[in-house]
Amino acid sequence: MNSMLTLLFSGIVACCAHSAGDSTSRLLLVSFDGFRADYLETYKLPHLQEFIEDGVLVKEVTNAFITKTFPNHYTIVTGLYEESHGIVANDMYDVDAKKKFSQFNDSDPFWWNEAVPIWVTNQRRGNGVSAAAMWPGTDVKINNTTPQFFMKYNFSVTFEERVEKIVAWLNSSNPVVNFATLYWEEPDASGHKYGPDDTENMRKVLEEVDNHIGFLTDKLKALGLWDTLNIIITSDHGMASCSPKKLIILDKCIGRNNYTLIDRSPVAAVLPRQNEKYVYNLLKKCDDHLKVYLKEEIPERFHYRHNKRIQPIILVADEGWTIVQNESLSKLGDHGYDNALPSMHPFLAARGPAFHRGYKQSTINNVDIYPMMCHILGLTPQPHNGTFSNTKCLLADQWCINLPEAIGIVIGAFLILTTLTCIIITSKNRVVSPRPFSRLQLQYDDDDPLIG
Ligand SMILES: *[C@@H]1O[C@H](CO)[C@@H](O)[C@H](O)[C@H]1NC(C)=O
Ligand SMILES: *[C@@H]1O[C@H](CO)[C@@H](O)[C@H](O)[C@H]1NC(C)=O
Ligand SMILES: *[C@@H]1O[C@H](CO)[C@@H](O)[C@H](O)[C@H]1NC(C)=O
Ligand SMILES: *[C@@H]1O[C@H](CO)[C@@H](O)[C@H](O)[C@H]1NC(C)=O
Ligand SMILES: *[C@@H]1O[C@H](CO)[C@@H](O)[C@H](O)[C@H]1NC(C)=O
Ligand SMILES: *[C@@H]1O[C@H](CO)[C@@H](O)[C@H](O)[C@H]1NC(C)=O
Ligand SMILES: *[C@@H]1O[C@H](CO)[C@@H](O)[C@H](O)[C@H]1NC(C)=O
Ligand SMILES: [Zn+2]
């Protein structure tokens, strides 16, 4: 008995271990920067729609605060909140090291080494190598490692050139590339320039993005990679409309010599030069559309406190408002706001052997993407803040029921049980005349399977 149980159990374990992303699984992670979730409903995007019909869609992804590019791209590949992976803004200052980080000076490993991204873990395992056609951090030696194949970040390199590189790397069999990233700056750039409500210009750029997806699809099909490769298409954040009427002007409230502005808008990072409480009180009274937090008061739900790169005072503008010192408005669209706002949320679509087909889910958190990717690649994840079970329904090898289904099953089971009970009770009551029942049995046995 005991040995049989062991046998059964090891059978189950072996079966599950096999179905959980085996060592031959491959994954391409794609980000179209600033792709707000509702663009999918507003615009006609045939290539993306076809991709989704063939796979899964998460309509809205709750991203990490602050809803900026570098922090969220690093969250996706580490599964960590920003306070835990250390890329807490696009512009940072480290008081002790006296170092500055910006989009134009991001290659000091110092900034990235608080976490280990999935491309490093994948390569360390030794089953295959990683490749990157531009994803924040992929051209930096993080924990002494870059992807074996990568491109130095350069926004002038066309999407087509990036795709040509990544498919050539994926096509190589020695070494095998089992994890790859692809990054594109649109629709973010146009969202900033025109504002997300400029439907004419946004339509143009989103049609372009859709054609890029078509181009990628065609390339992968031509090389025979389409059926075996798992592909995730997602983004880092959405976009909100800004207006010259919605300016929060700091110079009206506080002299510039009182503080250094490390990061500007819509979340400003303030390093006080005078007494912290004095600076805080001046800012606190500044504008009704501005939330002012001492670092230790930052709401728990932001998970944005425990890192020394987070400055002592943080200002968070209300949706659509822009923080300036005295400048005029420079962008008609921006992001970075509260990550509870739907306008800040991107989407996620995925297809390939690891994913279900035609399944749609309303939401996940972007920290959940990391454990899902590790599962697909069969990697042991680093410590992270995601929840694997949030993505179970997306995955072909996972047993999952969502709440409506579960309720349906319970009600269904209840109805069947009730019916059966009724039948049993009725038949027991009719126990005096068993004949019709046995006739029925006979007819049933006689049933010819060829008929009908
Ligand atoms: C980039 O930042 C590093 C510190 O991290 C600094 O030493 C270097 O001078 C900066 N380079 C530029 C071009 O600003
Ligand atoms: C970096 O890699 C080494 C192995 O080479 C490992 O021991 C170390 O813990 C890694 N660093 C971090 C921050 O995980
Ligand atoms: C960036 O790419 C463009 C277009 O391919 C090229 O002309 C330029 O030299 C590149 N810049 C750098 C710094 O490599
Ligand atoms: C893909 O790989 C095959 C076989 O190694 C090779 O013949 C072909 O040229 C490669 N194509 C590209 C675009 O790299
Ligand atoms: C700080 O700001 C206040 C209010 O604007 C101003 O009166 C004061 O001169 C400033 N102090 C410094 C050192 O700039
Ligand atoms: C903004 O402030 C700076 C420094 O005080 C000043 O030189 C500049 O003229 C001001 N610009 C505007 C548009 O008021
Ligand atoms: C996120 O994960 C890291 C690594 O395990 C952990 O140190 C941190 O406390 C977690 N954050 C939260 C809010 O649970
Ligand atoms: Zn972005």
List, for residues 173-183, the tens digit of each pLDDT value: 999 999 999 99
Q: Say what percent of the chain tops pLDDT 70.
A: 89
Q: Is the CB of 254 under 6 A from ligand 5?
A: yes
Q: Which residue has the tokens 């949706």?
A: 319
120 CA to middle of ligand 2, Å?
Answer: 10
pLDDT of residue 421: 80
**442 pLDDT more than 60:** no
**443 pLDDT more than 50:** no
List pLDDT tens digits, range 375-397: 999 999 999 999 999 999 999 99
Task: Give the nearest ligand 2 atom to 113 CA.
Answer: 13
143 CA to middle of ligand 1, Å?
Answer: 19
Name the residue at shortest CA distance from atom 11 of ligand 1: 105
List pLDDT tens digits, range 138-162: 999 999 999 999 999 999 999 999 9
In this structure, is the dihedral angle defined by the CA atoms of residues 288, 294, 297 and 302, taken in order, positive or negative? Answer: positive
385 CA to middle of ligand 7, Å?
Answer: 6
**416 pLDDT more than 50:** yes
pLDDT of residue 23: 65
Q: Specify the CATH class of 25-80+115-241+338-394 in words.
A: alpha beta
Name the 3-class secondary structure at 194.
helix
Structure tokens at 311: 């400055």
**What ligand has the least distance to the C-alpha of 94?**
1
Name the residue at shortest CA distance from atom 6 of ligand 2: 143
| CATH number 3.30.1360.180 given to 247-334 | yes
Q: How confident is the model at residue 447 (pLDDT cuts 50, 70, 90)?
A: very low
Q: Taking each helix axis as running N to C, give the angle between helix 46-53 and helix 199-222, from 0 to 180 degrees, rounded to the nearest 10.
A: 50
Mark whether 228 is an active-site residue.
Answer: no
List pLDDT tens digits, range 12-24: 333 344 344 566 8
Cβ contact 192:334 at 8 Å: yes
Q: Is the preceding peptide bond at 381 cis, omega within 30 degrees of 0?
A: no
* Arithmetic mean of pLDDT, 129-141: 98
pLDDT of residue 4: 39
Residues in the chain: 452
Q: pTM of the entire structure?
A: 0.88
**99 pLDDT more than 60:** yes
Distance in angstroms (rounded) separating the CA atoms of residues 267 and 264: 6
Residue from 6, 42, 62, 69 carrying the catalytic annotation: 69
Count of CB atoms situated within 10 Å of the CB of 355: 22
pLDDT of residue 182: 98
Name the residue at shortest CA distance from atom 3 of ligand 3: 156
**275 pLDDT more than 70:** yes
pLDDT of residue 254: 98
Mutation test of ligand 2: which of 121, 123, 140, 143 has the most ligand atoms closer than 8 Å to its C-beta? 143
Domain with CATH 3.30.1360.180 in the chain: 247-334
**What ligand has the least distance to the C-alpha of 102?**
1
**11 pLDDT more than 50:** no
Name the residue at shortest CA distance from atom 2 of ligand 4: 171
Q: How confident is the model at residue 307 (pLDDT cuts 50, 70, 90)?
A: very high
**What ligand has the least distance to the C-alpha of 67?**
8
Name the residue at shortest CA distance from atom 12 of ligand 3: 154
pLDDT of residue 400: 85
Mutation test of ligand 4: which of 223, 225, 228 has the most ligand atoms closer than 8 Å to its C-beta? 223
Q: DSSP secondary structure string, 97-157?
A: TTEEEBTTB---GGGTTTS--HHHHHHHHTSSEEEEES-TTTTS-BTTB--SEE----TTS
Q: Is the CB of 325 under 6 A from ligand 5?
A: no
74 CA to middle of ligand 8, Å?
Answer: 11
**426 pLDDT more than 80:** no
* Arithmetic mean of pLDDT, 109-128: 97
Task: Read off the amino acid at residue 97.
Answer: A
Domain with CATH 3.40.720.10 in the chain: 25-80+115-241+338-394
Structure tokens at 302: 């932001």
Q: Say what percent of the chain tops pLDDT 90.
A: 82
Cβ contact 108:363 at 8 Å: no
* Arithmetic mean of pLDDT, 243-256: 98
Q: How confident is the model at residue 408 (pLDDT cuts 50, 70, 90)?
A: confident
Compute the mean pLDDT over every residue in the chain, rounded to the nearest whole number: 91
Look at 244-248, 338-342, 422-426 and tell me which has the smallest mean pLDDT. 422-426
**445 pLDDT more than 60:** no
Name the residue at shortest CA distance from atom 14 of ligand 7: 385
Task: Give the nearest ligand 5 atom to 256 CA.
Answer: 14
Ligand 7 site residues (CB inside 6 A) read 80-81, 84, 303, 383-385
